[in-house]
Each structure stands twice: as structure tokens, then as C-alpha cells.
């Protein structure tokens, strides 16, 4: 299938929700940090399959083997039954974070579950008045209704109002605004430790510290959305570990399944006990196939030292990008942690840079027309990082003179 055929089939049979952002290629296969299209062209993947999902790269042998074995053994039973992969995955996440887990199918569902848990905790401790949730402007938490309401970007709200009430938004990293917003009516503060979709902006230690203090003072749950930042992406298993804070709840997804859809809400006491039987559920959540894939993904992350690799190769990329910045005025800022890097541009040419990188075999992401976002897989080698930097240096250097 070529790109023209793919477009025709999309126009005929799919809701065209992705047309403006689809790249002009049809991806056929992947291995590690590389992808190939149906024309046989090879690409170096600096987006982890798109939006940081394939943190282990494509078709990681451990994950693929676990999927094959589980598919031959048991594909699905509902949560009316126990299955060992789900229980072992809960045990594994508890060892990494503490607390107990609820499994779902995506990051938006994980955030929805965390919101419901926080609301129920507020209700049980103080009654229905304790239902307000404080989030950040420029945040992104998902596209289902409560997650959309939590997202502090009005452009995503347009056309879908009325959204669920009870959400307020503060400027990211504004400590005084946060302290003023959290009251006795607040059941949760929900934050990304690093803003992802709006351009890789890390939280300051003061901001997350103030959030923890405000939650403690007002009996609210401190919830971190680690859907994009979790599981090694930033050079720590979880991004909050860069800070001197401990959240009550985290939302996970994206890299958790090694490419297979799965999400999780992981909650510590006393917040975890707010949920009672029947309060929440998911037909497919934590099914044996995605749970087995997630266990294999966690094995690979730990056994292959991929968190440490993300820190090391991420620093290599950041240094290389700053070297490019010194050579061209087009790059105005480089920021991020580990393999989660944002590059600000002085002129609105991000789309053209993305296209020219793809033509040279490098896939990157953009945020608007003035920002590049790099989210390579945790398995990225130093040699692949240098190759990517070479392409970026050529393209940015050329764009600077246009």
C-alpha cells in the first residue's frame, strides 16, 4: 500500500481526525529505534512510535515473546475472574511506587480513574463540597470528558462544552497561584511533572513542593500524570523522582505495555482505600495479554539498564543540540530531562524542519510552528543519537539561512 492508497481508504472509511498530522508515508515494520515504510525507506524514530509509546523501541524481543506466549495461552477474560499476569503486574508496580493499582486501556482512562478516585476520597473524608480539582494551564491530560476538563488548554475544550465542572487552572510553576487556588474544597491537585504536549517544560522543585504542602494542609490528594514521563523516559523510573516529593497517586500508560494499550492508576493509602467495590471498572483493563506485555516491558527496562541509558543518551542529545544552538540563531532554547527534549525555534519553521528531517530519514515531533519535540525510545544507542544530531544539524543549519 502506498501513501495515495492510504489517503483514499482513510477518506472513504475513517473519520478523518488525524489527516492534518499524518506523515506522508505508510509504516510497514519496526525494530528497535528504526522504522521502515512500505516503499522500503528506513527511518530513525525520535518519537517512539508517536507520543512516547514505544519506549522500548519497536518489537522488543521480550515483549514480542510475552505476547506470543500469552496469545497462545489466554487472550481475555473479564475482571470477573483472577488472572496471574494482572496480579503480578499489580505486585510489580507496588514494588516500584507503592500502593495498589487499577488497570485500564489508555492514559486518558488512567487520568479519569485518578479523578474519580480523588473525588471519592474527598467525598468520604469531607462530603460532596470537597470536589474541586486544581490543574495547570498548558497541561494536557487526555480527550475523554473529565480528562479534557482537567486539561488547561481552551483550544481542546471548544465545541465540547459543557464540560464537567469543578476544575480550576493555574499558571504552571506559579507557586503563589497554586497556594491561593488550593482550599478546603479541593480534593486534588493534578499536575504533569513535565508539561509534555505543550512543549517539554519541567516543573520547578518549588512548584511541586508547594503542591505537596498545599495538599497536606487541605486534606487533598496529590496526583501526578506520568502518562508520558513515567517508566524511564526522563532518566528516572518516574519523573517525580527528580524532585523531593512523593505523590499519592500516579497515572501511567504509553510505555507501560511496550506498545500494547494499557493504562494504570497507582494509589497509596489512605487515598487508595477510597474506592469500594463497584465504584469503577473496565472490561478490558488489565487483561492477560496487555498485562503480560507490561510485565515483559518492565523486565526489559530494569534488566537492560534502560533508565540509565535514557539519562546518558539524553544528556548526549541535549549537549549536541546546544552545540547546534551555538552555531545557529534559529535554535533559541533546549530543555528537558532524559529522552524528553524540547527545542524552541526563533522562527515559525518547525513544520518545514519536521518534513526535511523525515526526508533525510529522521522522525521528529513538533508543537506548533516554533517548537520541536524529541521523544526517542529508551533503547536509543549513542551512535543513533549522533546520527540524529547530524540530521538535525544539517536541517536546522539549512533552515537558518532560508
Q: Give the model confidence (pLDDT) of 288-344 as tens digits.
A: 999 999 999 999 999 999 999 999 999 999 999 999 999 999 999 999 999 999 999
pTM equals 0.96
Catalytic annotation, pick one of 37, 45, 225, 248: 225
pLDDT band of residue 385 (cuts 50, 70, 90) is: very high
The DSSP H or E segment spanning 385 is: helix 382-400
Beta bridge partners of 263: 104
pLDDT of residue 255: 97
Is residue 140 part of the annotated active site? The answer reads: yes
Mutual angle of helices 382-400 and 350-359, in 10-degree steps: 130
Q: Does domain 74-303 have CATH number 3.90.1150.10?
A: no
Write down the architecture of domain 3-60+305-400 according to CATH: Alpha-Beta Complex (3.90)
pLDDT-derived band at 99 (thresholds 50, 70, 90) equals: very high
pLDDT at 20: 81
pLDDT the model gives residue 400: 84
- Torsion of Cα atoms, 307 then 309 then 311 then 316, to 10°: -160
Give the model's confidence band at 38: pLDDT under 50 very low, under 70 low, under 90 confident, else very high.
very high
Q: Which listed residue (97, 254, 275, 344) is catalytic?
A: 254
> What whole-number distance in Å separates Cα of residue 39 and Cα of residue 315?
34
Active site residue 225: yes
> Cell 516543573, residue?
203
CA distance 196 to 51: 9
> Which residue, 255, 305, 266, 257, is CA-closest to 91?
266
pLDDT higher than 90, residue 130: yes
Contact yes or no for 103/291 (Cβ under 8 A): yes
Mean per-residue pLDDT over the chain, rounded: 97
| Contact partners, residue 154, CB within 8 Å, separation at least 6 | none
Q: Give the residue extent of every domain in the chain.
A: 3-60+305-400, 74-303
What secondary structure letter does DSSP report for 164?
A: P
* pLDDT category of residue 153 using cuts at 50, 70 and 90: very high
| 155-191 tens-digit pLDDT | 999 999 999 999 999 999 999 999 999 999 999 999 9
pLDDT at residue 19 above 90?
no
Residue 5: CB partners within 8 Å, gap ≥ 6? Answer: 26
Confidence (pLDDT) at 34 = 98
Burial of residue 199 (number of CB atoms within 10 Å: 0-12, 13-18, 19+): buried
Which residue in 140, 167, 207, 222 is the catalytic one? 140
Amino acid at each position: 500500500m502506498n501513501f495515495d492508497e492510504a489517503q483514499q481508504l482513510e477518506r472513504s472509511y475513517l473519520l478523518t481526525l488525524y489527516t492534518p498530522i499524518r506523515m506522508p508515508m505508510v509504516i510497514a515494520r519496526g525494530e528497535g529505534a528504526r522504522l521502515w515504510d512500505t516503499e522500503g525507506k528506513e527511518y530513525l524514530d525520535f518519537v517512539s512510535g508517536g507520543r512516547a509509546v514505544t519506549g522500548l523501541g519497536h518489537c522488543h524481543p521480550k515483549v514480542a515473546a510475552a505476547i506470543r506466549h500469552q496469545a497462545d495461552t489466554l487472550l481475555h477474560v473479564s475482571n470477573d475472574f483472577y488472572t496471574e499476569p494482572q496480579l503480578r503486574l499489580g505486585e510489580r508496580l507496588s514494588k516500584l511506587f507503592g500502593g495498589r493499582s487499577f488497570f485500564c486501556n489508555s492514559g486518558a482512562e488512567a487520568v479519569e480513574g485518578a479523578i474519580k478516585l480523588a473525588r471519592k476520597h474527598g467525598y468520604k473524608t469531607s462530603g460532596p463540597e470537597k470536589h474541586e480539582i486544581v490543574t495547570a494551564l498548558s497541561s494536557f491530560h487526555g480527550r475523554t470528558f473529565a480528562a479534557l476538563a482537567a486539561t488547561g488548554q481552551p483550544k481542546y475544550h471548544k465545541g465540547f462544552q459543557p464540560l464537567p465542572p469543578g476544575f480550576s487552572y493555574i499558571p504552571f510553576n506559579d507557586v503563589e497561584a497554586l497556594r491561593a487556588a488550593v482550599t478546603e474544597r479541593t480534593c486534588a491537585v493534578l499536575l504533569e511533572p513535565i508539561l509534555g504536549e505543550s512543549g517539554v517544560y519541567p516543573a520547578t522543585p518549588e512548584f511541586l513542593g508547594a503542591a505537596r504542602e498545599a495538599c497536606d494542609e487541605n486534606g487533598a490528594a496529590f496526583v501526578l500524570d506520568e502518562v508520558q514521563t513515567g517508566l524511564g523516559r526522563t532518566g528516572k523510573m518516574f519523573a517525580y523522582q527528580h524532585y523531593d516529593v512523593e505523590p499519592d497517586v500516579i497515572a501511567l500508560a504509553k510505555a507501560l505495555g511496550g506498545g500494547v494499550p494499557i493504562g494504570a492508576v497507582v494509589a497509596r493509602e489512605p487515598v487508595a482505600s477510597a474506592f469500594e467495590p463497584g465504584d469503577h471498572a473496565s472490561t478490558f483493563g488489565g487483561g492477560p495479554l496487555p498485562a503480560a506485555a507490561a510485565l515483559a516491558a518492565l523486565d526489559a527496562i530494569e534488566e537492560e539498564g534502560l533508565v540509565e541509558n535514557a539519562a546518558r543518551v539524553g544528556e548526549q542529545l541535549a549537549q549536541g543540540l546546544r552545540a547546534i544552538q551555538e552555531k545557529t540563531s534559529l535554535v533559541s532554547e533546549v530543555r528537558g530531562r532524559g529522552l524528553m527534549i524540547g527545542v524552541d525555534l526563533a522562527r515559525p519553521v518547525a513544520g518545514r524542519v519536521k518534513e526535511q528531517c523525515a526526508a533525510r530519514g529522521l522522525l521528529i515531533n513538533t508543537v506548533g510552528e516554533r517548537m520541536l519535540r524529541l521523544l526517542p525510545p529508551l533503547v536509543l544507542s549513542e551512535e543513533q543519537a549522533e546520527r540524529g544530531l547530524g540530521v538535525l544539524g544539517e536541517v536546522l543549519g539549512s533552515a537558518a539561512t532560508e
